[in-house]
């Protein structure tokens, strides 16, 4: 692993070119740049491609990720480039249903449970948003070839297609440069690889006429050829075909082969345009360390997973959101650099769980032995007998890191309901804003002292009293139009909810003394100290 130099830069007084350099301008890097710029941070994005990549990679994102993307200021346009998925089914070779998940049009996070998209359209929205923010500079045709850590800054060297070399400096660098990440290789961090991989032929098509597919996503668990069918946004669809044992990749990776396999699903040159057919090998691995000094990893640079749970890009966006608010606090001197260690701790644990779940699904799907497939089908069908369709599980909670772990709900993703404030009604995030939120009801709504209120203000927090749906909210209050928040508090016997900027619950409390202790716990966790006259009592 490269050492971090402790000597000072030659021009010690000179300001670096940016607060943060982001390497890679895919959805993860673009989202991170936007989130930082929205907080007033100067961000330079270095992208090796001269022009935007016009072919899709990811095809969907879940409701929690839609909420996170909306936080980038593109929520009003997401509906234009997406189509909600209706469900996800697994079928046997003879059409029996092994798994049946129904996606809700209005999920618990304020968005559809599953949203299909054409990835270039999403990247276009993020690019347009970045163009609205003066803090973002995107430089294309910049292949990063060197990284040097110099005390309180990092020097990044990039080369363009003509061989010209230029250096950039920043306080922090984040590698969002994909599976073959230069940044990860430079850091030389160890990687955990589960060794689970298969090769598939990926076929992206644009449909010539509108067509309805119910359910939107289907996995055909046929040992003769495991096959995936998924929506990929308005007018687009993807088929994926697994390479069989003994089949040569060169034979599979031909356009004629793609059309032959698609024809069995009614897809021909008369009904669709083949945008791309190519083979890819999925992997299951994660970097063991996501921070070395002032350089961090995010997205595919930090982790890769099989596609069966649809969590690859979603995990990368979660990385960006987790990292953005922490970098902002550190850059603003409101938290020590050690706060960034919680980024690896929190996100690696979540990603590991997602990868293990994806591998488990893959072991069920990627079966090509007819006898083993028949045994699998019989076992799964016996377990499903009498069971109807299910809905997706809640978003994965945090289990490590910056949490008040003694609290009910700590680490959970808080749901999003509709509220009414003095200025109007809508989803909570849009009406209130984004950042830390302290939501108070009952006795916890009694006055917060000036010192604690001032501390929360330094974080850009929202301190809000929760009102009933039929009450008229005043300044600093919101009416719970659907009863989502009152029900959540009542279910866990608390009346104070402290939520992080990434919508994970830091902690909960019951009553004013415990509420004060909860605020103090956050202050201590951020290294800001605890008021000397902290009220007695523990957060509930």
Instruction: Look up residue 209 and give its two tokens.
Output: 């006429």
211-222 confidence digits (pLDDT tens): 899 999 999 999
232-259 confidence digits (pLDDT tens): 999 999 999 999 999 999 999 999 999 9
CA atoms within 13 A on the CB side of 150: 16
Apex 72 CA angle, 66 and 75, nearest 5: 50
Q: Give the strand pairing for 165-175 and 97-102.
A: unpaired
The pLDDT, as a whole number, for residue 274 is 97
Cα 102 to Cα 209: distance, rounded to the nearest angstrom: 25
pLDDT, average across residues 448-461: 95
54-105 confidence digits (pLDDT tens): 888 999 999 999 999 999 999 999 999 999 999 999 999 999 999 999 999 9
Torsion over CA: 364, 365, 371, 374 (sign): positive
**CA distance to 37, 108, 314, per residue, from 64 (Å):** 22, 8, 8
* Selection from 147, 220, 181 nearest residue 367 by Cα: 220
Beta strands in 14-142 (DSSP E): 18-23, 43-46, 60-62, 82-84, 87-92, 97-102, 114-117, 136-139
**CA distance to 287, 354, 376, 380, per residue, from 299 (Å):** 11, 13, 33, 33
29-62 confidence digits (pLDDT tens): 999 999 999 999 999 999 999 999 988 899 999 9
Q: What percent of the chain is predicted at pLDDT more than 90?
A: 92
Q: Torsion angle of alpha carbons 429, 430, 431, 437, nearest 10°? A: 20
Angle between helices 27-38 and 119-131 (to 10 degrees): 30
Cα 122 to Cα 490: distance, rounded to the nearest angstrom: 38
Query: Which is more confident, 530 or 144?
Result: 144
* 94 and 111 Cβ atoms separated by less than 8 Å: no
Kindly give, in sequence order, each residue whose CB lies less than 8 Å from that of residue 328, ignoring residues fewer than 6 positions away: 36, 39, 41
Q: Torsion angle of alpha carbons 311, 321, 485, 76, nearest 10°? A: -90
Region of poorest pLDDT, from 7-16, 59-68, 327-336, 378-387:
7-16
Cα 398 to Cα 289: distance, rounded to the nearest angstrom: 18
Residue with tokens 């201590």: 524
Identify the band that residue 2 occupies on the pLDDT scale cut at 50, 70 and 90: low
Helix and strand tally (H, E) in the chain? 14, 28
* Selection from 356, 312, 256 nearest residue 56 by Cα: 312
Domains of the chain: 18-82+113-191+286-358 (3.50.50.60), 418-525 (3.40.30.10)
* Selection from 207, 223, 156 nearest residue 183 by Cα: 156
Region of poorest pLDDT, from 79-83, 332-336, 456-460, 534-538:
534-538
Apex 367 CA angle, 281 and 384, nearest 5: 120
Beta strands in 13-63 (DSSP E): 18-23, 43-46, 60-62
DSSP 396: P
Instruction: Look up residue 119 and give its two tokens.
Output: 């990835």
* 21 and 162 Cβ atoms separated by less than 8 Å: no
The pLDDT, as a whole number, for residue 529 is 57
Query: Which is more confident, 216 or 529?
Result: 216
DSSP 152: T
* Selection from 3, 324, 368 nearest residue 149 by Cα: 3
Region of poorest pLDDT, from 11-20, 82-91, 416-425:
11-20
* Selection from 278, 306, 312, 351 nearest residue 27 by Cα: 312
Beta strands in 434-520 (DSSP E): 437-440, 462-467, 477-480, 496-499, 505-509
Kindly give, in sequence order, each residue whose CB lies less than 8 Å from that of residue 44, ignoring residues fewer than 6 positions away: 17, 18, 20, 21, 22, 137, 138, 139, 168, 170
The 3-state DSSP composition of the chain as helix, strand, coil percent (nearest 5) reads: 30, 25, 40
Give pTM, 2 decimals.
0.94
Cα 228 to Cα 536: distance, rounded to the nearest angstrom: 57
Cα 540 to Cα 537: distance, rounded to the nearest angstrom: 9
pLDDT, average across residues 165-177: 98
263-312 confidence digits (pLDDT tens): 999 999 999 999 999 999 999 999 999 999 999 999 999 999 999 999 99
Q: Give the strand pairing for 285-287 and 227-231.
A: unpaired
The kind and range of the H/E element at 262 are helix 255-263
Over its C-alpha atoms, the chain yields an Rg (Å, rounded) of 24
């Amino acid at each position: 692993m490269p050492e971090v130099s402790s000597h000072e830069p030659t021009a010690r007084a000179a300001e670096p070119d940016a607060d943060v350099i982001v390497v890679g301008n895919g959805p993860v890097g673009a989202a991170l740049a936007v989130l930082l710029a929205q907080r007033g941070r100067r961000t330079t994005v270095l992208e090796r491609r001269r022009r935007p990549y016009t072919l899709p990679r990811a095809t969907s994102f879940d409701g929690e990720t839609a909420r996170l993307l909306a936080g980038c200021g593109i929520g009003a346009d997401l509906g234009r480039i997406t189509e909600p998925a209706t469900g996800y089914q697994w079928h046997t070779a003879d059409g029996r249903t092994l798994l049946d998940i129904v996606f809700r049009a209005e999920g618990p996070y304020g968005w559809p449970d599953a949203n299909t998209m054409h990835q270039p359209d999403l990247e276009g929205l993020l690019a347009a948003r970045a163009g609205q923010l003066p803090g973002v500079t995107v430089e294309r045709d910049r292949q990063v070839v060197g990284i040097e850590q110099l005390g309180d800054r990092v020097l990044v060297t990039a080369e363009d297609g003509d061989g010209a070399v230029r250096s950039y400096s920043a306080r922090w660098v984040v590698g969002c440069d994909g599976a073959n990440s230069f940044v990860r290789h430079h850091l030389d961090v160890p990687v955990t690889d589960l060794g689970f991989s298969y090769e598939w032929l990926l076929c992206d098509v644009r449909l010539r006429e509108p067509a309805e597919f119910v359910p939107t996503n289907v996995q055909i668990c046929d040992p003769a050829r495991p096959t995936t069918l998924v929506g990929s946004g308005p007018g687009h669809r993807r088929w994926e075909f697994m390479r069989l044992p003994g089949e040569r990749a060169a034979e599979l990776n031909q356009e004629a082969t793609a059309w032959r396999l698609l024809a069995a699903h009614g897809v021909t040159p008369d009904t669709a345009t083949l945008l791309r057919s190519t083979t890819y090998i999925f992997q299951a691995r994660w970097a063991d360390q996501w921070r070395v000094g002032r350089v961090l990893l995010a997205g595919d640079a930090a982790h890769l997973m099989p596609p069966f749970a649809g969590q690859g890009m979603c995990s990368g966006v979660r990385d960006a959101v987790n990292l953005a608010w922490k970098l902002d606090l550190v850059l603003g001197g409101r938290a020590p650099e050690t706060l960034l260690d919680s980024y690896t701790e929190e996100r690696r644990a979540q990603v590991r769980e997602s990868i293990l779940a994806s591998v488990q699904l893959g072991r069920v799907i990627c079966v090509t032995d007819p006898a083993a497939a028949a045994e699998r089908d019989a076992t799964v069908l016996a377990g499903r007998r009498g069971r109807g369709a299910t809905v997706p599980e809640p978003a994965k909670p945090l289990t490590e890191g910056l949490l008040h772990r003694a609290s009910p709900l700590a680490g959970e993703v808080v749901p999003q309901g509709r509220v009414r404030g003095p200025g109007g009604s809508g989803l909570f995030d849009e009406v209130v804003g984004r950042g830390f939120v302290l939501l108070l009801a009952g006795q916890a709504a009694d006055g917060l002292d000036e010192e604690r209120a001032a501390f929360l203000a330094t974080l850009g927090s929202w301190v809000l009293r929760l009102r009933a749906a039929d009450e008229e909210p005043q300044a600093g209050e919101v009416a719970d139009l659907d009863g989502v928040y009152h029900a959540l508090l009542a279910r866990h016997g608390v009346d104070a909810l402290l939520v992080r900027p990434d919508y994970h619950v830091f902690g909960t409390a019951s009553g004013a003394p415990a509420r004060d202790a909860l605020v103090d716990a956050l202050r201590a966790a951020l290294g800001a100290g605890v008021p000397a006259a902290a009220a007695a009592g523990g957060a509930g």
